[in-house]
Amino acid sequence: MTLTNEEVLKIFSETEALLNGHFLLTSGRHSNVYFQCAKVLQHPKYTKLICSNLVEHFKDMSIETVIAPAMGGLIVGYEIARQLNARFIFTEREDKIMQLRRGFSLQKNERVLICEDVVTTGGSVFEVIDIVKKFEAEIVGVAYIVDRSNGKVNFGYEQKSVLALDAVSFPADDCKLCNEAIPLVKPGSRKVLSA
């Protein structure tokens, strides 16, 4: 089954993965939207449903292996691999360099799907693409839950997200939401920082 946009948004808001308001981001900027993918992925039943949208898109492409960058991509990648009946491996950083460890490897021409939870600049995914290319495996596509790139990221392969999030952020000293006197909230604390 495939979830509609409305159904996906309903799950995100019920699990408080997606909040609308005025938020202090970890970067220090202020935003009208806060999204924490882990809040929805903590529920296997929702993870299964949301990932099924991506599986639907890639299911006839003979994917042999799903690969994802840790930490963000682990749960999504594993669930998608499970539904595709494929193998799952992950990359991780050591000394800041993304790599395959733990004896994981890829075969030449092996058909690979790259998965991630949230794509903003796509940095981690591009690093995984480089790793897969070194093994001369075949990248079939890139699947991710939320696109926060405002349509900017182009991986150069078939790419599919469940939802594109339309979010804006402002520097703390020049914030439209502050000017509108909307209370500022630090996500996770439920604390109102200003009124």
**Contact map string, positions 14 to 33, toward Zn ion, x by CB under 5 A:** ----------------x---
Site size for Zn ion, by CB under 5 A?
4
| Peptide bond preceding 71 in cis form (omega within 30 of 0) | yes
Q: Which residue is nearest to Zn ion (CB)?
A: 175
**Contact map string, positions 100 to 119, toward Zn ion, x by CB under 5 A:** --------------------
Least CB distance to Zn ion at residue 149 (A): 22
Q: How far is the C-alpha of 165 from the C-alpha of 39, rounded, in Å?
A: 16
CA 171, 174, 177, 181 torsion: positive or negative?
positive
Q: Which stretch binds Zn ion (CB under 5 A): 60-68, 81-89, 105-113, 169-177?
A: 169-177
Least CB distance to Zn ion at residue 26 (A): 15
Please name the residue that has the structure tokens 């939870």: 117
Q: Dig out the tokens for 8 from the structure.
A: 């996906």
Q: How far apart are the first and last CA of the chain?
A: 44
Query: Measuring CA to CA, how many Å separate 160 from each of 43, 51, 57, 109, 134?
Result: 22, 11, 8, 22, 23
What angle do helix axes 5-14 and 44-58 make, rounded to 10 degrees?
A: 150
Least CB distance to Zn ion at residue 19 (A): 15
Q: Which stretch binds Zn ion (CB under 5 A): 31-39, 82-90, 103-111, 178-186?
A: 178-186
Of the residues 9, 70, 164, 178, which one makes contact with Zn ion according to CB under 5 A: 178
Interface residues with Zn ion (CB under 5 A) are: 30, 175, 177-178
